[in-house]
Amino acid sequence: MGKLDGKVAVITGATSGMALASAKLFVEEGAYVFITGRKQESLDDAVKTIGPNVTGVQADSAKLADLDQLYETVKREKGYIDVVFASAGQGGRAPLGEITEEQFDSVFSLNTRGTLFTVQKALPMMRNGGSIIMNGSIAHLKGMPGLGVYAGSKAALRSFARSWAVELAERRIRVNVLSPGPIETNVMANLPAEAKENFRKGIPRKELGYPEEIATTALFLACDDSSFVNGSEICVDGGLAQI
């Protein structure tokens, strides 16, 4: 018996990395999963990787019309939602003094505004006792040069979790933030070797995390194992932002 048997989950931005690993694990644990991605080709590849019990919907979480299309598909195929993992997001680096209006708008539009409306538009279909997970980042816990805009966009999610946990209390819907540290994904692979080494030095085990380690934490937050975890932030960072 899987930990998510009979559950329906929505995971945005799940064509690669941490969210894809989470979608795969959710299906293995009995859930039916709807995933999104901006590019149809990448979305098709992700669906093939996951296997059965998954529907891919091409969508940009920064566009409200795309989110409407996503939830229309969920309503038509399943009619309810138990878990929302709002994972779609983007990075970007620029130090204060070089931040452009376009960069700010792009990052906050997807990471903050997109997350808010991903959750809000899911609520009419969410069953009582469900779980909302937002993909944060430890960047908002540490001062990292050039990441002020990104960190700010993720810090807002921590505030959302506190407010929404109270607002959704009567429905027993839990709201939490999963904040990864440096994880071996395509984004990390594109960083200079020196930057990756600096991350490693700050982690007690001296190695980066893996998408599967995020997936198991997402599963914990999605299932009844975390029934008393609400309004919280769980950092999956190997200790980087904790010590």
- pLDDT tens-digit map of 21-62: 999 999 999 999 999 999 999 999 999 999 999 999 999 999
| Entry pTM | 0.96
Task: Specify the pLDDT at position 1.
Answer: 87
> Is the pLDDT reported for residue 188 higher than 80?
no
pLDDT at 189: 75
Q: What is the pLDDT of residues 203-214, one digit of tens each?
A: 999 999 999 999
If you average pLDDT over every residue of the chain, what do you get? Answer: 96
Residue ranges per domain, the chain?
8-236
- Of all residues in the chain, the percent with pLDDT exceeding 90 is 90
Return the amino acid letter for 51.
G
CATH class of the region 8-236: alpha beta
User: Which are the catalytic amino acids?
Assistant: 150
99-122: average pLDDT: 98
Query: Cβ distance 85 to 22 under 8 Å?
Result: yes
Range 66-104 burial, b when 16+ CB lie within 10 A, else e: bbeebbebbeeeeeebbbbbbbbbbebebeeeeeeeeeb
The DSSP call for residue 134 is E
* pLDDT score for 209: 95
Query: Over pLDDT 70: what percentage of the chain?
Result: 100
